[in-house]
Chains A and B, each alone.
Chain A
Amino acid sequence: MKISAFHLMPHRELPADFEDRYESVWVTPPWWEVADASRVGQYYNWTLDELIHAARAGFDGVCTNEHHQNAYGFMPSPNLMGSVLARATNGTNVAVVQMGATLPTSNPPIRVAEEYAMLDCISGGRLVAGLPLGSPMDVNLCYGITPMEHRERYREAFALTLKAWQSREMFAWNGRYFQLANVNLWPRPVQQPHPPVWVPGSGSISTFDFAVDNETCYCFLSYSGARSAKTMMDGYWQVVAKKGREKNPYRAGFLQLVVVGNNDADCEAKYARHVEYFYHKCLHVPPPYFSPPGNQDYRSLVATLSNPVRRPENPKDLRYRDFVDKGYVIAGSAATVRDRLKEEVVKGLHVGNLMVLLQIGSMPHELTLENIDRFAQGVLPDLRGVWDEEGWVNHWWPERLRGAAPARARAGVAAAGA
């Protein structure tokens, strides 16, 4: 299986009373009161250093993502970060996993196709092209896209992107939302016919259908662990089966928060406050932001409102121990983490492309590097072969990296170009 290091690029030093004083971490967090550009520059550089460290430590991929006006993740342009990572990891077998640039907020959307092609060229064909729909906060509230048009724009932009990468002829795109008279992408990606495509989702049935119909890897980017994702992922696999596709675990990706220490007590001592910072401050968002009217289609709206799952628990009521017990965070010794990941996430959800979040909330740089090293040394080697004996092909990974396990860089061997 393939295991990638994911990063949100959070504000690591929000005030202790942030969630009491301010309405939201997303859309409306007050920059001038809680942030400082020079310090934020340090966060960006730590983020890059941590991902490059993960690449050298043996991870299969490094992931960045896009959010806007969000203090828990502010890479408005993930491709700026991806560009640095592509350059810094040249000469390695590490994939650059963009999770990714958001089509409905890019106008025209071929901008994403162009930038991804650039990344694929710079990295020598190591790009995984995440094509997310984008959250309502980012797309509707920050970027002004009408909620009812959000999915339609995405689907049109998705089709345009795939065609722009592959078409041998220049073409005109006469779409409902986008009109371009001369689509003739420069550059084109190294990977043919196009880089592997991942579609992140949050459990909506229409996205399952879309991901399977388009032969993409469906990725559930969850902050609440495998247990609460189980029903959802089972639903995804049912759609895969219904549509007659094989149950190849590489059709699925999942994001899991992980902390590794000497033992449970060591983890609690080291990581508890950073985990609580993440769930209490970073997820402080008013519920209506998640569902502006029209963002869900009518069928989904009726389904959601008619079957209100028991009221989801409020993470603000939970503490570190709860997060670990409930699987929001997998924590413990390397052996504990390996066993829980394997059982709950990899086997439990049938996932071949695992992403782990190892820098969590306020976690400082040095501790993050330690967490990355402990995972890379104690967990990753034992998980990598989990699916091997079943013989699946990871069609959703850059072809030239499929067989290769990135060797851990020896001390003193800098990535090419560094």
Chain B
Amino acid sequence: MQRLAARTRYGLSEVIRHDVVIVGGGAAGLRAAIAAVEASPNISVAMVSKVYPMRSHTVSAEGGAAAVAREDDSFEMHGYDTVKGSDFLGDQDVIQYFVEEAPKELTLMDHWGCPWSRNEDGSVATRAFGGMSTKRTWYAADKVGFHMLHTLFQHSMRFDRIVRYDEQFVTKLLVDGGAIRGVVALDVREGVVRTILGRAVILATGGAGKIFPFTTNGNIKTGDGMSLAYREGVALKDMEFVQYHPTGLPGTGILITEATRGEGGYVVNSDGERFLVTRDYGVGTKAELGPRDMISRAIVMEIEAGRGFKGPYGEYVHLDLTHLGEQKISTRLPMVRELAKTYIGVDPVVQPIPIRPVVHYMMGGVDTDIDGATVIPGLYAAGEVACVSLNGANRLGSNSLTECLVFGARAGTKAVEFAAGSNDGSEAVLRRMGEEEAARIEALRGKKKGGEKLARIRRELNQTMESGCGVYREQASMDETVRSVARLKGRYADLALEDTSSVFNTELVVALELGNMLDVAEALAVSAAHRKESRGAHTRKDFQTRDDQNYLYHTICHFDPAGPRLGKKAVTLGTWEPEERKY
């Protein structure tokens, strides 16, 4: 690492050079960083994250990570489950690569210290999960994301060549001469804008749940990486597919893991009926272990039919674990017990937990190929920010933690290969681009001109996303959301800010994040409004069936100042031809 200029405050930016720049320090980013330094003995990696890595949202994942581990399982079974779960929109070459790499990645997690729960003989334990045909979800009680994140982060600390830039918020990708050249980042703490150059850049910034009002996602999930790539001409793919997790706590949206059902929990309506067993919601004998899209729809239908419970934070149904007993709940699901007690005042050992569907995960994201590569040479993406087309129209629970590892590692390796054959670009040009970005940020800080309040625009964005792009969708409300988001983008230009400080100015960060959220919301709403069929998590009241004739393709959404442009990308089929998705 060389420092090319003395540090200055906003306006003039410090320039630093590494070989590979990784944006985001969650599971995908950390795995990519480790893969990169292992791929070459000389390479230096910048890990630039807007939070300290151990605060990344991977930490909130609970239930587990999927990989074939048992004698009664096979890559074919994991592959077919994933393809079917995706409602045949997953790319089958990607899925095949994923299932074959998955066991190796979770084994490495073991070698690096992840405290996997164990069988009596010392082998790694696996549990049942929704849409998975056998027990293949590895777990560490119900704190799997937490343990994986801390394991990866602590393991990453052994490599001096991973240089962290903590609490530095990337606001722009530097693209020049037809290739990626680095990023511009605001050092939140020092108020400095840095130009961090690298021959390859990997986006690993996670999802964008915060564009919705009711989400399991943490405050930091504002779609930053999606917006960064979108603004540079990379398409966002399959953005209409938003996963609602069936079991969130009413009010807060805090996640209650699917492992509750994997361990045998029941979902029950106000008549005390296990409606996933007694009524036909397409989950067949899987009942509570059906895929998330189907169970979320079933819960909404039950509530609409008047069989929900009414509470201070809206209607809900029950997740009943009482029959599992205290021993099992305390050992397998200790976090669920703690969360239910702390955040809704219910001890699941003796009372059912109130739950309702909640926005959880973006199947869509930055369009990449199987290497995590985007159309910009040297720019990669992995994890939830990316759409490598593993998850198609609906992700299976416990595939995403593994996805972060498999495709984080691949992106890390490929980025190093790319960097070796690329060049540094023109430093003078990049320095100027960095300075322009620094000036843009400076103009926004404490900007007095304008009449719009940050919190108000964000609230209205949340409302319109929920009303147009919820569990059930129809044309008129989606079109209205498209128009509302466009209006909000206009109003965003008229923001008034109050905080003029250069030090830890979180109002400035929130304003920049809101800009990203608006980009992602725009792509999402436009993509959703165009797809006139029901597939996976995209469920329409006005087009209730899947239409392979006309819609068996990935939606591609390009940024354009005049409004987003849509296109199509072929789905890679293979072993499995599309068939009716019924369990």
Decide whether A and B are members of one complex: no
Give the interface of A toward B (CB within 8 A).
Answer: none
